[in-house]
Chains A and B, each alone.
Chain A
Amino acid sequence: EAGVTQFPSHSVIEKGQTVTLRCDPISGHDNLYWYRRVMGKEIKFLLHFVKESKQDESGMPNNRFLAERTGGTYSTLKVQPAELEDSGVYFCASSQVFGQTEAFFGQGTRLTVV
């Protein structure tokens, strides 16, 4: 069974540009989460999808971040326009039962904004 996959693994973009990150969860997992880790800081929750619906987006930093999960399968996280402070590692995770079981994480996308 394939795990959670994220694309790209690395992205270097200039300030002001747009970047779209993609996450493919484990098949059958209704719950999909996005997290971000800025260098040396904690892993911070961004948002949670249940199927195609945004269950909780309280962690989204600002309106430059847009997450979608059309059809309840893969998800995208778009940053437009990117700022320097958006640099970090973006993790996607999925789980079967929300909050009760382990979450399976992808390898992460390392985003560097220069």
Chain B
Amino acid sequence: SQQGEEDPQALSIQEGENATMNCSYKTSINNLQWYRQNSGRGLVHLILIRSNEREKHSGRLRVTLDTSKKSSSLLITASRAADTASYFCATALPAGTALIFGKGTTLSVSS
């Protein structure tokens, strides 16, 4: 069964608005990572948050992690058209398996 699941599946906003994507997972994790995929290109690592961390920032990105609810959120502030992409959360389990990805959230930012 799927470990990570992003919500919503698709999100359309205007430039300058904030975009929030959520990720839920099922089992204990070592860390959770967010990746971005622009159309036709590879996955780009955005941010990693460890299980003992609750919030992390990187530029316009803010990630939160709630291990009690087994959920994470990715906030992109002041969005730009260039942020249009698919965003994936990926979990790294303590037992030592490869990253497990969800289906992703497709973000469209229009100018």
Contacts and interface: CB of A to CB of B under 8 A. Distances in A.
A99 B97 contact: yes
Interface string A65-101: 0000000000000000000000000010100001111
Contacts of A45: 97-101
10 contacts: A33-B99, A43-B104, A45-B99, A48-B98, A93-B99, A99-B98, A99-B99, A100-B92, A103-B33, A108-B41
Given A99-B96, A102-B48, A108 B102 contact: no
Given A6-B42, A45-B98, A99-B93, 7 more contacts: A42-B103, A91-B42, A100-B30, A104-B45, A105-B42, A105-B43, A107-B42
A102 B92 contact: no
A98 B94 CA distance: 11
B96 A105 contact: no
A56 B97 contact: yes
A106 interface: yes
A35 interface: yes
Interface residues of B, number: 25
Contacts of B52: none
Interface of A: 4, 6, 33, 35, 40-45, 48, 56, 59, 91, 93, 98-108
A101 B48 contact: yes
B68 interface: no
A42 B23 CA distance: 13
Interface string B24-37: 00000011010100
A99 B103 contact: no
Nearest to B97: A56
Contact of A98 (B41, B48, B96): B96
Given A91-B42, A101-B48, A56 B92 contact: no
